Amino acid sequence: MDDSDMALRAEWLRRELHRHSHAYYVLDEPTIPDAEYDKLFNELQSLEEAHPTLRTPDSPTQRVGGAPLPQFAPVRHAVPMLSIRTETDTTEGGAVAFDARVRRELGIATDAAAIEYAAELKFDGLAINLRYEHGVLVCAATRGDGETGEDVTQNIRTIRKIPLRLKECIAPVLEVRGEVYMRRDDFERMNERQREKGEKTFVNPRNAAAGAVRQLDPAITATRPLSFFAYGLGEVQGWNLPETHGAILDALAAFGMPVDGGRAVVTGSSGLADFHKRIAGLRDALPFDIDGVVYKVNSLALQRRLGFVSREPRWAVAHKYPAQEQITVVRDIDVQVGRTGKLTPVAKLEPVFVGGTTVSNATLHNEDETRRKDVRIGDTVIVRRAGDVIPEVAAVMLERRPSNAGEPFDMYRRLHGKCPVCGSEIAREEGESDWRCSGGLFCPAQRKQALLHFAHRRAMDIEGLGDKVVEQLVDAGIVRTLPELYKLGVAKLAALDRMGEKSAGNLVSAIEKSKTTTLARFLLGLGIRHVGESTAKDLSRYFGNLDAILEAGVEQLLEVPDVGPIVAQSIRTFFEQAHNREVIEQLRAAGVHWPEQVVEHVAKPFAGQTFVLTGTLPNLTRDQAAERIEASGGKVAGSVSKKTNYVVAGAEAGSKLTKALELGVAVIDEAGLIKLLEQK
């Protein structure tokens, strides 16, 4: 490029970086991932270093961050909050280069003793300066542009990890600097709640943390699950500094500040490289996001000798890892069927390297989320992968949407109303965000879950049929439907990994024993959505036989105690599927049976009464007591409320007994229960 072209390129880069910086720092709506921003920034920085006349006072390279929001009072930093240099070489070469640079600046020979470094994790959050005066938190401010930040004291006070008073610290001024961040699990739960409410989800934990700290209403910040780690100091008055950075962090921890335990003091480039490699291996297992590690010369005396250059300390560097967000294109949208029948739209992507691996699929969660983000085939999107979290489409870059992009996603239209695996009808209940396949017993995608549920101790009670056995039976194609369980022999089972002939024989016996059951257990084992143990018993008592339930319409089902419209429709939808009925008939043909019951639509002695069991009864097990209560028409609940009629308390009864006494609920023991049953 000639001088004119370079000037135009530099101007364009400045405009783009300002635009993206404004979107990220001011609007809390990032438009590109970090890796893309870094590319533009590094290009501008290289241009300016090669041609200093291109550098302007407003260049993004001349400041640390974004301007403060006008709604917050400005806070002038007594000690500027500067950035540190980034080492983009993600190999051990980055550590070697930093150590060599430090030794060169200090004039230390290559054969001299190794330099000691403090090595820390580089948290992905929002930098905050906490000002303590005589041990009390008086002000909290964002980094802002490095010279002036935003007063967010009221919001920071809501973060419980940040102490309002330091332990045994009476220094007139002690400014603690660190990172406000959000744990991955907290972030996922928060986004799930947002999805359930039909509200906007957040792109990543860092963006969520930044948005929470900048809320004008502290009450909103208080609802966000924020955390904090301290990593350094600002202004200090009246406190004798330790001699090393590592000792400073130890002192802050003693003051009650949260300091990450993953830090270490290492020596030489090999120590730095080993730390970088070790943390890379742990990165996916960490409960929070990091995008690299930070190396600091440990000795404060050496730090002072090294000083600063271009507003960056010579004694520190950030050593990056592969980016956890990247840009790619949506080539198609498929639908996957989960173990429980949940239908999840999945973006088929132009393969992209993100979070240390090549990603070609990313979850879109559900139809509502796909529509909220307006993800369409052909869109350019930001893909995020962090830790063991499934890669997801975090945001759409609408300015790059092609003219031939697909229509807004419609699950029913996309699938023509049928499960893509088994062809069963798909259904979505009112108020729910997830579409589901209705062919639970028949759908191959749900086989493992259906078998495990069928074998549960409160359903068909097949002892020995656990996760690992079911996994092998399904993966090997030995069992494809529930009725095939009853064709299993010892020889076939004994051939499974870690099974053995004795265990195989026990399992065959347990399967044979399960043929004799109850109608309620059988109904529970079918895995009908919303039909739990209590509802299965209600259906069994009300109808008395399976055929009556199979033919019951929604109105008849609504006559069953505690069966509402959603449950009734779920039952009806399940039994309307021809293949579900076929599985039921095959199970009956295999010998699964139960005694017929006398149908009693008249009120039973305990009809409408609720019992709660707590503690250990002297003679009856919890299940036996529950069965006797339910046989008389009573309900057994898991918690005590004002609607509870009786609490049956045994030995070592706990909080349920306390709650009953507080509410004035009648409390009886086992003898009292038996007497009540006999009287009724």
C-alpha 325: how far from its chain's center?
17
User: Coil, strand or helix: which one is 494?
Assistant: helix
Cα 41 to Cα 90: distance, rounded to the nearest angstrom: 18
> What is the helix (H) or strand (E) element at residue 150, kind and residue range?
strand 148-150
Sheet holding 173-181, edge to edge: 136-142, 126-133, 173-181, 227-237
**Contact 205/161 with Cβ under 8 angstroms?**
no
Amino acid letter, residue 543 = F
Query: Which stretches of 355-484 are assigned E, i.e. beta strand?
Result: 357-363, 380-384, 392-396, 426-427, 436-437
Structure tokens at 248: 């400073």
Strands 610-614 and 635-637: parallel
Cα 211 to Cα 186: distance, rounded to the nearest angstrom: 15
Q: Give the count of beta carbons closer than 10 Å to the beta carbon of residue 252.
A: 22
**Contact 504/443 with Cβ under 8 angstroms?**
no
327 burial via Cβ count (<10 Å: 0-12, 13-18, 19+)? middle
Q: Give the count of beta carbons closer than 10 Å to the beta carbon of residue 302.
A: 18
CA angle 582, 586, 592 (to 5 degrees): 130
Strand partners, 227: 181
Cα 411 to Cα 418: distance, rounded to the nearest angstrom: 10
C-alpha 94: how far from its chain's center?
32
Strands 392-396 and 380-384: antiparallel
Structure tokens at 443: 């759908």
CA dist 601 → 523, 541, 648 (Å)? 19, 9, 27
User: Coil, strand or helix: which one is 107?
Assistant: coil
Residue 206: which of 176, 220, 186 has the closest Cα? 186
Cα 258 to Cα 260: distance, rounded to the nearest angstrom: 7
Cα 34 to Cα 124: distance, rounded to the nearest angstrom: 11
Backbone phi, then psi, for 49, in 5-degree steps? -70, -35
Residue 233: which of 181, 154, 289, 171 has the closest Cα? 171
Cα 243 to Cα 110: distance, rounded to the nearest angstrom: 24
Q: Which residues participate in catalysis according to the annotation?
A: 122
Cα 1 to Cα 10: distance, rounded to the nearest angstrom: 12
